[in-house]
């Protein structure tokens, strides 16, 4: 497996080595020793989630309080999504910036987002299936969102799907009503950069 740290500290692109044959293909999607060596600690899996989205669906920008925290290891075994790691940690040198990875069913890359980062994706094909391995279960009292169409964050959503057809963005009511990054900061919802780093460092010990 190949690991590439994104420009947002705490996020990695992970490319598995595939072994194709006449039957199909086999690959390792998560390997604890390699992962822990790169990231600094193993993924403590508590909950696995799956979403299925039609082309144009946007989910995010979602994040959890730190603590209790939630890291995500995200894969797309079917279809394709453009996945965004968004730095919403107040005090970070890359606050408000993002990086992205194309997750699809050919190269079968994954993205890992450590505690404190925001997560968002847009589906580029119908029935795009996303699997999330989470370090903490869903806790509605500690889950928040930032508007994925906040112009100050300026996520670059494609205007066409992978087949070249026009892509119409579709948001849930909850994500449509989410505050902007500035509003979320003013409301005290965003994680603190140093607190997030300290928490992640505690996992390395």
pLDDT tens digit string along 130-180? 999 999 988 878 899 999 999 999 999 999 998 999 999 999 999 999 999
| Per-residue confidence (pLDDT) for residue 205, from 0 to 100 | 62
Q: Rounded mean pLDDT of the chain?
A: 95
Contact at 8 Å (CB) between 115 and 199? yes
State residue 175 phi and psi, 5-degree precision: -70, -30
CA dihedral 56, 60, 61, 67 (to 10 degrees): -160
pLDDT band at 190 (very low <50, low <70, confident <90, very high): very high
pLDDT band at 92 (very low <50, low <70, confident <90, very high): very high
| Per-residue confidence (pLDDT) for residue 17, from 0 to 100 | 96
pLDDT band at 19 (very low <50, low <70, confident <90, very high): very high
pLDDT band at 29 (very low <50, low <70, confident <90, very high): very high
Average pLDDT on 183-190 reads: 97
Dist CA 181 CA 201 (whole Å): 26
Sign of the dihedral defined by the CA atoms of residues 66, 138, 93, 32, in that order: positive
Domain that holds residue 13: 2-204
Structural domains counted in the chain:
1
pLDDT in tens, 95-122: 999 999 999 999 999 999 999 999 999 9
| Per-residue confidence (pLDDT) for residue 185, from 0 to 100 | 98
CA dihedral 51, 60, 76, 53 (to 10 degrees): 50
| Per-residue confidence (pLDDT) for residue 142, from 0 to 100 | 83
Q: Which residues are catalytic?
A: 62, 132
Report the CATH number at residue 28.
2.60.120.10
pLDDT band at 55 (very low <50, low <70, confident <90, very high): very high
């Amino acid at each position: 497996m190949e690991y590439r740290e994104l420009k947002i500290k705490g996020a990695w692109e992970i490319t598995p080595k595939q072994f194709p044959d006449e039957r199909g293909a086999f690959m390792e999607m998560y390997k604890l020793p390699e992962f822990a060596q790169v990231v600094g600690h193993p993924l403590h899996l508590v909950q696995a989630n799956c979403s299925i989205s039609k082309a144009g669906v946007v989910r995010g920008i979602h994040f959890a309080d730190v603590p209790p925290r939630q890291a995500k290891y995200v894969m797309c075994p079917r279809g394709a999504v453009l996945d965004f790691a968004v730095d919403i940690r107040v005090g970070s040198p890359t606050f408000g910036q993002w990086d992205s990875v194309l997750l699809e069913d050919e190269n079968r890359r994954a993205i890992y987002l450590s505690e404190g980062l925001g997560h968002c994706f847009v589906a580029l094909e119908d029935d795009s299936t996303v699997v999330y391995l989470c370090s903490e279960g869903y806790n509605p009292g500690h889950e928040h969102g930032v508007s994925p169409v906040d112009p100050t964050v300026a996520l670059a959503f494609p205007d066409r799907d992978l087949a070249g057809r026009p892509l119409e963005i579709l948001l849930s009511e909850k994500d449509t009503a989410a505050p902007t990054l500035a509003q979320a900061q003013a409301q005290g919802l965003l994680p603190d950069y140093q607190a997030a780093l300290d928490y992640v460092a505690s996992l390395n010990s």
